[in-house]
């Protein structure tokens, strides 16, 4: 997970680089790919657009690049309206999904491509390209053609090409989508390091929440063309604003219930399986129907009955999913509801009491859950 927004960033005056005003893209007069989206991206930020396929994140990105014309709304870069600027006139560059490296040009020529279009003097181009090559550690292969490079190397050429013109805004379209899982983790960090070194502002599109969490400083969760929630990664994960977001990001157990006590310092919710005691106040009213969401890793399993009135359930382990570092236990409650509990495998014991069919208690503390009203 990304580090918390550090103090330096917090204290530095936030300067808005990109502003998008109620942007919409409607195809054939009916299909709303992007529906009235507004957002601001600050200078130096990596802004993540996260969502499933067809949620409109790519269309939004393509409108920023200039490949799609918005049906409605405006795009401002440094306060200047660029909505109707064609792609070749925007100070924005894109790193394409599966890279779109020119197959007939060498690595060097690929990186120099954009610079040549600007009519930069030859020696300056050479200098800039060499700088870029060393930035992405490809100094050894300037003459190679894209097909002579491995997937990770191609990715770095694509990055160098899109950074060469020193764009004000860099668009990343599924930058790691074409790499295999192992390579993805190391590349992720490399990518962020390079971006931070250059200090370029980014908009990143991805369907992979882990990728969004690790790379982006802020995330917008997108569905059906609009933003469900915008926030820091930990905000979106720990304080989702709706069932949909809680469901989309990570795993979650949902308990439906009715508000009973509603006090400034705590709330209780009567659910079918237990009474939930929430250790902070929320804005709601007694009798209101709510969902209580608890992440599986915030629940503990025990063999003995917890000595508490609230926040525990009893059940039977019906499934164990072993991941190596941790395991997820599926617990079937007396009501028939199944919840997931994730525990870290701290010991090397192969046998323990947590087996199929074992009776177990699951409990959590009063700050572990979030009450969702919508």
Partner 1 sequence: MSQVSNRVFAKSWMIGVYAFLYLPIITLIFFSFNDSRLVTVWSHASLRWYGALVNDSDLISAVLLSLEIAFLSALMSVFFGTFSAFALHRYTRFKGRTLLSSMASTPLVMPDVIVGLSLLLMLVSIQHWLGFPQRGLFTILLGHALLGTAYANVVVTSRLREMDIRLEEAAMDLGCKPFQVFKLVTFPLLIPALVSAFLLTFTLSFDDVVLSSFLSGPGYSTMPMVIFSRARLGLNPTINAVATVTIVVVSAAVIASSLYQSHQERKRKREMALAYSNKNS
Partner 2 sequence: MNESSSYVRHFNWGKLGVISVPYFWFVMLALIPILIVLKISMSEMELTSVSNMVDWSNGWPTVKLNFSSYLFIGGDALYIKTYLSSIKYAFITTLLCLAIGYPFAYFMARSPKHLQPMLLMLIMLPFWTSFLLRIYAWKTLLVSNGVINNILISLHIIDTPLLMMNNSFSLIIGMVYSYLPFMILPLYANLSKLDMRYLEAAADLGTSPFKAFWLITVPLSKAGIIAGSMLVFIPAVGEYVIPELLGGPSTLMIGRVLWDEFFSNNDWPMASAVAVVMILLILVPMAILNKYQAEQAGSKS
Closer CB to partner 1, 93 or 311, in the complex: 93
Q: Which parts of 343-372 interact with partner 2 (CB under 8 A)?
A: none
66 contributes a contact to partner 1 by CB under 8 A: yes
Q: Which of 247, 8, 156, 130 is nearest to 236 (CA)?
A: 247
- 8 A C-beta contact, residue 341 and residue 317: no
Q: Of the candidates 9, 12, 52, 69, which one interacts with partner 2 according to CB under 8 A?
A: 69
Q: What is the CA radius of gyration of the chain?
A: 25
Q: Of the candidates 87, 139, 281, 286, which one interacts with partner 1 according to CB under 8 A?
A: 87
Residue with tokens 């680089």: 17
DSSP state of 344: E
CA distance 60 to 268: 41
142 contributes a contact to partner 1 by CB under 8 A: no
Q: Of the candidates 21, 35, 68, 260, which one interacts with partner 2 according to CB under 8 A?
A: 68
52 contributes a contact to partner 2 by CB under 8 A: no
Taking CB under 8 A as the binding criterion, the range among 67-75, 155-163, 310-318, 343-351 that sits at the site for partner 2 is: 67-75
CA distances from 29 to 58, 71, 130, 222 (A): 19, 9, 48, 21
CA distances from 346 to 174, 303, 368 (A): 35, 17, 21
Closer CB to partner 2, 86 or 139, in the complex: 86
| 27 interacts with, out of partner 1, partner 2, none, CB within 5 to 8 A per kind | partner 2
Q: Which two tokens stand for residue 288?
A: 């209101």
Site string for partner 2, 1-20 (x = CB under 8 A): --------------------
Closer CB to partner 2, 59 or 253, in the complex: 59
66 contributes a contact to partner 2 by CB under 8 A: yes
345 contributes a contact to partner 1 by CB under 8 A: no
Q: Which two tokens stand for residue 155?
A: 């990715």
Residues in CB range of 114: below 8 A, 6 or more apart: 93, 161, 164, 165
Residues in contact with partner 2 by the rule CB under 8 A: 27, 58-59, 62, 66-69, 86-87
């Amino acid at each position: 997970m990304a580090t918390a927004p550090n103090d330096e960033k917090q204290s530095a005056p936030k300067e808005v680089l990109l502003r998008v005003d109620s942007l919409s893209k409607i195809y054939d007069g009916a299909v709303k790919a992007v529906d009235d989206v507004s957002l601001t991206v600050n200078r130096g930020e990596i802004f993540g657009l996260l969502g499933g396929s067809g949620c409109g994140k790519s269309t939004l990105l393509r409108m920023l690049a200039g490949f799609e014309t918005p049906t409605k709304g405006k795009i401002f870069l440094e306060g200047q309206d660029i909505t109707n600027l064609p792609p070749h006139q925007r100070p924005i560059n894109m790193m394409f999904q599966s890279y779109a490296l020119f197959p007939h040009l060498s690595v060097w020529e690929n990186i120099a491509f954009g610079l040549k279009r600007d009519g930069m003097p030859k020696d300056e181009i050479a200098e800039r390209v060499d700088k870029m090559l060393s930035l992405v550690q490809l100094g050894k292969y300037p003459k190679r053609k894209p097909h002579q490079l491995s997937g990770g190397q191609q990715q770095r050429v694509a990055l160098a090409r899109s950074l060469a013109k020193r764009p004000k805004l860099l668009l990343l379209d599924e930058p790691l989508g074409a790499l295999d899982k192992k390579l993805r983790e190391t590349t992720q960090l490399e990518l962020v390091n390079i971006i931070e070194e250059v200090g370029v502002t980014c908009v990143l599109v991805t369907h992979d929440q882990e990728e969004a969490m690790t790379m982006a400083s802020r995330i917008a969760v997108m569905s059906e063309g609009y933003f469900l929630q915008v926030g820091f990664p930990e905000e979106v994960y720990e304080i989702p604003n709706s069932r949909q977001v809680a469901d989309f990001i990570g795993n979650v157990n949902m308990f439906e219930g009715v508000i009973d006590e509603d006090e400034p310092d705590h709330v209780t919710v009567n659910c079918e399986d237990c009474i939930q005691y929430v250790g902070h106040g929320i804005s709601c009213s007694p009798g209101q129907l709510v969902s209580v969401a608890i992440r599986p890793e915030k629940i503990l399993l025990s063999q003995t009955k917890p000595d508490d009135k609230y926040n525990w359930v009893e059940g039977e382990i019906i499934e164990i999913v072993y991941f190596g570092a941790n395991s997820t236990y599926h617990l079937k409650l007396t009501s028939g509801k199944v919840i997931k509990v994730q525990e870290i495998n701290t010991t090397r014991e192969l046998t323990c009491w947590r087996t199929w069919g074992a009776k177990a208690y699951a409990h959590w503390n009063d700050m572990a859950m979030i009450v969702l009203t919508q």
